[in-house]
Amino acid sequence: MKEVTNEIILKATQIKKYFPIKRGLLLKTVGHVKAVDDVTLEIRKGETLGLVGESGCGKSTLGRTLIRLYEPTAGEIQFEGQDFLHVDGRGLRLLRKDIQMIFQDPYASLDPRMTIGQILRQPFDIHNVGTSQERTTRVKELLELVGLKAAHVNRYPHEFSGGQRQRICIARAIALNPKLIICDEPVSALDVSIQAQILNLLKDLQEKLGLTYLFISHDLSVIEYFCDRVAVMYLGKIVEIGTRDEMFNQPKHPYTQALLSAIPRVGEGKKEMKKSLSGEVPSPINPPSGCSFHPRCPHAMDVCSQTLPALQGAGSQQVACFLYDSNLKLIKK
């Protein structure tokens, strides 16, 4: 059984990731896409933190920024108390062993010219772990650990199904015994029956290896099944965060409520939107002033368009909304 502690394994403070928009012959910067805008969150050792939101809200960009596949525009990242942003060279390579990533498309993240054995051996070669014989043995152990056969070691990625390819990606991610794995929609490209197998595999590995997950998904049903805490993201910002039970039983933010009301329930007949949203998601190039959700919010007030609400809450649940006081008591209906 997995053990969740209060120890913070990764802490991100006021993270921003802006992509410049360049035009003209001189490629002058004329604006920025504000993909991640002032995000602060903590991931505790042994837990699974879910990150959910509509497509284009910045979930994947945040995940890639936390692992430094994208360098942040501003902010701080600490991993086990160490400043992750000011580590370079050999120090960064050593930290890479402890933070790994599973990507959404298993076929695109595997080199089609390499055998599975070569792909899984690569982490050991890069970090010079073990002898040649030990690396070969470890590759076979990894395949069996994720439910594949050691005899598959000489096959190429195209010879496997989508679910099997994702198992290979998981094997590569756990090869160096990492402490934190960022899962970027790892089951969204798979059939529903295969999704359940992969999720159960990830749970089993978490218990066996003591892993910590940041699990990115737009599927709230998957989030409810798999995660311990949930952070809801809208237009580059975290608008609500709390435990799974709090988020699914007592959601506070109007955006969270709208997302949850859209989940289809088996046996309930035709599903009606209890919290329908009007309008379109604003552009991250020119987001609205104040609360970015206010143009679509049915409870919007004047202050919402003028001032940016901060995350607040006395306990584990926090929400960025002017409808609540600091104790998350509703002050306006």
- pLDDT > 90? residue 311: yes
> Torsion-angle region of residue 97: left (phi > 0), alpha (psi -120 to 50) or beta?
alpha
Alpha-carbon distances, residue 14 vs 31, 34, 167, 235 (angstroms): 20, 13, 34, 15
Q: Name the amino acid, one letter, at 325.
A: D
Distances from the Cα of 17 to the Cα of 20, 61, 147, angstroms = 10, 8, 37
> pLDDT at position 269, please?
53
Nearest to 300 by CA among 328, 332, 325, 327: 332
Q: Does an H or E element contain 229, and which?
A: strand 229-234
Q: What is the pLDDT of residue 54?
A: 87
Residue-wise pLDDT tens digits, 61-116: 999 999 999 999 999 999 999 999 988 888 888 888 999 999 988 888 899 999 99
**pLDDT over 90 for what percent of the chain?**
71
Q: What is the pLDDT of residue 165?
A: 94
Predicted confidence at residue 266, as pLDDT, reads 60
- How far is Cα 151 from Cα 236, in angstroms, rounded to an integer? 45
What's the mean pLDDT when you consider all of the chain?
90
- Structure token pair of residue 327: 């104790």
The pLDDT of residue 93: 86
Q: What are phi and psi of 312, to 5 degrees?
A: -145, 155
Helix (H, G, I), strand (E, B) or coil at 149: coil
Tell me: pLDDT of 3 over 80: no
Question: Which pLDDT score is estimated for 6?
Answer: 81
Q: What are phi and psi of 36, to 5 degrees?
A: -130, 125
Task: Pick the more confident residue, 1 or 41.
Answer: 41
Which residues, 6+ apart, have CB-to-CB distance to 196 below 8 Å? none
pLDDT of residue 331: 85
Long-range contacts from 276-284, C-beta under 8 angstroms, 24+ separation: 281/54, 281/56, 281/57, 281/235, 282/235, 284/33, 284/34, 284/35, 284/37, 284/56, 284/58, 284/235, 284/236
Q: Under DSSP, is residue 2 helix (H, G, I), strand (E, B) or coil? A: coil
pLDDT-based confidence at 146, cuts 50/70/90? very high
What average pLDDT does the segment 16-37 reach? 92
Task: Inform me whether the pLDDT recorded for 273 exceeds 50.
Answer: no
Q: Model-level pTM?
A: 0.91
Range with the poorest average pLDDT among 135-139, 184-188, 258-262: 258-262
pLDDT exceeds cutoff 60 at 268? no
Q: Is the pLDDT of residue 276 over 90?
A: no
SS3 assignment, position 83 = strand
Q: Residue 26: pLDDT above 90?
A: no
For residue 89, the model assigns a pLDDT of 81
Across the range 188-204, mean pLDDT stands at 90
Tell how far CA 192 is from the center of its chain.
Answer: 20
Chain centroid offset of residue 208 CA? 21
